[in-house]
Amino acid sequence: MKPVLEALQLARSFGGVRAVTGLSFAVQPGEILGLIGPNGAGKTTVVNLISGMVKPSSGRVLLDGVDVTGLPPHRLAWMGLVRTFQSTTVFGGCTVLENARRGAFRSAHSGWLSELFGMPKARRLHESTDRLAMELLDQLALTDVADQIAGGLPYGKQKALGIAIALAARPHIILLDEPVAGLSSEEASLVRDMLTKVRNAGITVMVIDHNMRFIAGLCDRVVVVHHGQELAQGSPEVVLADPRVVEAYLGGSHAQQYQGR
Amino acid sequence: MTLVMRIAGACLVVLAAALPFIDKDGFGVTVGTIIALNMIGATSLHLIIRTGHVSLAHAGFMGIGGYVATLTLMRLGWPFPLNLLAGAIAPACLSLLIGPLLLRLQGKYFVLVTFMLGEILRLAFLQWSSLTGGANGIFGVPAPGPMFSSQAGFYWLALGSSLLCIAIVARMLTGNMGRIIDSVRDSERLAQCAGIPVLQVKVAAFVLATGLVGIQGGLTAHYLQYIDPGAFTSVQSLSFVVMNVIGGMRSLFGPIIGATFMTILPELLRGYVEMQHVIFGLILIAVMAAMPGGVVDAVNRARQFLSRRTRGGNLDSNLARVEARQ
């Protein structure tokens, strides 16, 4: 099967710091891929490279087999790749429902001219946007707070809303940057269930996190990054038992203790 | 917008249009003309502010419009509406050129650089004397045709242009266009990831706004029958910003109220010649302190306060609206 997303020898340095050095991986359609690694491994840089927020120093990104290296994020969104953010996940100043509507820009957009003159086509699309927004809020258990200001929501709800905004763009692949960072384990398992539903709806998912339990319970396949390079790749059980991965996470001496047990 | 507001708005427009019949000595019409002209600048700047940028070059762009409209009329002999159009297109072209560079700057850096741009433009008007007449300016700008040469006629022209400008800005700030602009202001990153071409949207708003304020420049030159660099200083730019702040930066009603307030207040203080500027300053400070979100925000707060007990949240009405459409 042709991969949805493919990174080929991606590299990026910031001044003298080589954040990512020659990373390659592929995301297959309909799977949930986890990208994990210890703090400072270059995970967020990888997301920024793929989503067009940062241009790679070298290497290529293919989306559905098309070279999209260096395209700006809004172009990628139109091509079906949407990401979420670790922080500032929502438009803080408006209601939850309005947040979801804003995320649906791509499906609500009827062309700049028809927008400007308020053509019937534009009006019809706006109505379907409202429907889509309400549906998504319903799926992510946000209907009861639809009328509240997003900035005042509890952190877990904001994270869920961040996912709703991304889904509103109707992507076929969604990239999540630390969706459960700062969440309790109950909230994290809610997010896990949501993402499983998203995948079951036919959307390919790529998750970045360092919460091992979350990743192990969610992903079909895991890529481990360390010092900007691939350390291991495979199913969660195999990868997480890999001594090199344990060492990267815990450091050499602790890893020996861990293995001794 | 509710029906009550629409009716109130229509009444205000009719009242404004009837001003020359009500006001016999003509002073009200003079003030009305200046208010209408200032509304063009204030509402067009409002469009830029809503994309998240406070520009201090707005008077400079107004100056370009003024000089281009004047020169195309007096040197090239272009007829009246055509020279005004040229005065709108010229600043729009300049901002199309420099907008993509300027609008990459954030917050205070954008403010500083536009301030400098405004100064550069002012100096250009001052120094390019072969074209602009330097500090003396250009005298004898003819009235725009026989129809608008009377005081009332020009008032209606200014009012019409102002309403057209407000309508254009209102169109940009409502519906899906408004949602796009609000998204860009609230979070560029999220807006980008939803597929919005952030920089292009900002440039489009900037180009449109500077084009509109160019019309104010052209009309002002016609009205005063005179144009000089003194009208396009950073003080004028700042005054447009203050109009937005006083009225409220979150709603288009803000700059409309602000332009009216900022034009009428100095006229009311004309009686106290020596203290005029001091009193003006004190009133501005008092208004800002009492209404940090502007007049519109203060009115909204008052309304919320009054209706808190009578109305609950309107989630149900939202849901009902969506269901009714399905």
| Residue ranges covered by each domain of chain A | 1-80+171-261, 89-164
Q: Decide if B172 contacts B47 (C-beta within 8 A).
A: yes
Query: Which amino acid, one-letter code, is at B40?
Result: I
pLDDT score, position A89:
82
Contact A73 B186 (CB under 8 A): no
Token pair of A116 as six digits: 């400007």
Residue A247 binned pLDDT confidence (cut-offs 50, 70, 90)? confident
| Cβ pairs A/B, distance under 8 A | 104
pLDDT score, position B326:
41
> Is the model's pLDDT at A261 over the cut of 70?
no
Phi, psi angles (nearest 5°) of residue A148:
-90, 160
Token pair of B253 as six digits: 């009603």
> Which among A244, A238, A188, A216 has a CA at the least distance from the CA of A32?
A216
HSE (side-chain half, CA atoms, 13 Å) at B79: 3
Q: In sequence order, what E strands does chain B have?
A: 138-139, 226-227
Residue B313 binned pLDDT confidence (cut-offs 50, 70, 90)? very low
Please state, in angstroms and rounded to a whole number, the distance separating the CA atoms of residues B118 and B124: 10
Give SS3 for A18.
strand
Q: What is the pTM of this model?
A: 0.88
Shortest Cα distance, chain A CAs vs residue B185, angstroms: 10
Burial of B148 (0-12, 13-18, 19+ CB in 10 A): buried
The answer to whether A149 faces chain B, any CB pair under 8 Å, is no
* Residue A59 host element (H or E): strand A58-63
Q: Decide if B54 contacts B111 (C-beta within 8 A).
A: yes
Number of CB atoms found within 10 A of residue B167's CB:
11
Residue A68 binned pLDDT confidence (cut-offs 50, 70, 90)? very high
Number of CB atoms found within 10 A of residue A116's CB:
15
Contact B182 A102 (CB under 8 A): yes
Residue A199 binned pLDDT confidence (cut-offs 50, 70, 90)? very high
Could you say which DSSP state residue A180 is in?
T
Q: Decide if B217 contacts B67 (C-beta within 8 A).
A: yes
Residue with tokens 């700059």: B255
The answer to whether B188 faces chain A, any CB pair under 8 Å, is no
The answer to whether B189 faces chain A, any CB pair under 8 Å, is yes
Report ipTM (2 d.p.): 0.85
* Residue B30 host element (H or E): helix B27-50
Q: Decide if A175 contacts A83 (C-beta within 8 A).
A: yes
Token pair of A260 as six digits: 């001794």
Q: Decide if A153 contacts A161 (C-beta within 8 A).
A: yes
Cβ neighbours of A85 in B, within 8 Å:
189-190, 193
> Which among A18, A86, A15 has a CA at the least distance from the CA of A48?
A86
Contact A102 B313 (CB under 8 A): no
Query: Which amino acid, one-letter code, is at B217?
Result: G
Query: Which amino acid, one-letter code, is at A248?
Result: A
Please state, in angstroms and rounded to a whole number, the distance separating the CA atoms of residues B303 and B96: 41
Which candidate in B185, B193, B317, B322 is best for mutational testing of the A interface (most A CBs within 10 A)?
A: B193
Shortest Cα distance, chain A CAs vs residue B136, angstroms: 42
CATH no., domain A1-80+171-261: 3.40.50.300
Which candidate in B104, B171, B176, B208 is best for mutational testing of the A interface (most A CBs within 10 A)?
A: B176
Contact B196 A122 (CB under 8 A): no
Shortest Cα distance, chain B CAs vs residue A145, angstroms: 8
> Which among B177, B319, B315, B180 has a CA at the least distance from the CA of A131?
B319
Q: Decide if B166 contacts B257 (C-beta within 8 A).
A: no
Q: Decide if B132 contacts B67 (C-beta within 8 A).
A: yes
DSSP B41-74: HHHHHHHHHHTT---S-HHHHHHHHHHHHHHHHH
Number of CB atoms found within 10 A of residue A243's CB:
12
Give SS3 for A232.
strand
Contact B325 A85 (CB under 8 A): no
The region of weakest confidence among A147-161, A220-234, B57-71, B307-321 is B307-321
pLDDT tens, residue by residue, A2-56? 899 999 999 898 888 888 888 999 999 999 999 988 877 788 899 999 999 999 9
For chain B, how are helix, strand and coil distributed in percent, rounded to 5? 80, 0, 20
pLDDT tens, residue by residue, B80-133? 889 999 999 999 999 999 999 999 998 899 999 999 999 999 999 999 999 999
> Is the model's pLDDT at B312 over the cut of 80?
no
> Is the model's pLDDT at A140 over the cut of 90?
no
Give SS3 for A12.
strand
Closest Cβ opposite residue B325 in set A83, A110, A127: A127
Contact A73 B314 (CB under 8 A): no
Burial of A88 (0-12, 13-18, 19+ CB in 10 A): middle
Contacts of A26 (CB under 8 A, 6+ apart): A3, A5, A6, A7
